[in-house]
Amino acid sequence: MIQLALNQNTCKNHALIQFLKLSKKIKSVELNFNSIRKTLTNNINIKTISEILETRDISISSIFALKDFSLCSDWDYKTKILLKFNQMINYCYKLESNLLIVNPSFLENKTDLNEIPQWRIVNRTIKRLKDLSKKANEYDIKIGFEFLSDSSISTLSNAKEVVGSLESLENLGYIIDTFHFIKSMAEREQLKDIKRFIFLIQLADLKYDSLEKLSLLKDSNRVFPGEGNFDMKKFLFYLNKIGYNKLYSIELSKNECNDYFFYKFSKYLKTFY
């Protein structure tokens, strides 16, 4: 059965515990790793978070996101990235989440993209992603690779080059965020041949009146699904048509997340059943 989750970034005005307590009608949430870590430094332990989840019958659909793993130096990868990765694995294990999201590295400026061949970026990303996936598999945790429209892997086609070469790793798949899907001008038909490997689709809409303005939009410009220019109904209909029946999540930015928002969220949830 299709399930709709809520990404914690949507409610940035609430700390983790408050976010969980407010999520009355939500059965699944995506939690921010940094928020979990910050909460655990405030005299709250992992057991407390786990008990709140259990009391409210809330599952964690994913813990996000491991960043800058693909193009950082070998030294940073071994001493910083893997340290953070192991902490995320630990949280996944203790909070009973089986999905960890990773994001490709960003390039410092546009000239870097011209100086570094795309094949080298892809190969480096493949190597690092393979290593992370094998490590996560030891704990039965899946790795969801999410391309970002302004990163070193900026299109769905690039992402398919990376993940497609590692199809033998059963715990590796795609995270599709419609914000980046729209900004990169991807086509929904590109999803058909990877539907089995999509672990999660994050929903957000965008308002724009030209392609030039579309490219300038930031995370803070995310709007509720169906309230922007993107034909969300057609997108969801297509996904249903090709047989995608897994998890969706709403990811907005800096939302107030008041009673009206949760009413709107629960109303949108009904369209999935």
Domain boundaries, the chain: 3-270
Which amino acid belongs to residue 41?
T
Contacts of 116 (CB under 8 A, 6+ apart): 107
Let me know how long the chain is.
273
- Rounded Cα distance between 246 and 126, Å, is 25
Among residues of the chain, what percentage have pLDDT more than 90? 78
Average of per-residue pLDDT across 66-85: 97
What per-residue confidence (pLDDT) applies to 109?
52
Residue 253 φ/ψ region, left for φ over 0, alpha for ψ in the -120 to 50 degree band, beta for the rest: beta
Average pLDDT, the chain: 92
Contacts of 240 (CB under 8 A, 6+ apart): none
- Rounded Cα distance between 82 and 42, Å, is 24
pLDDT, one tens digit per residue, over 218-265 is 999 999 999 999 999 999 999 999 999 999 999 998 677 877 888 888
What per-residue confidence (pLDDT) applies to 167?
94
What per-residue confidence (pLDDT) applies to 273?
61
3-270: in CATH 3.20.20.150? yes
- Rounded Cα distance between 139 and 48, Å, is 22
Strands (E), 134-216: 142-146, 172-177, 198-203
Instruction: Check pLDDT > 50 for residue 74.
Output: yes
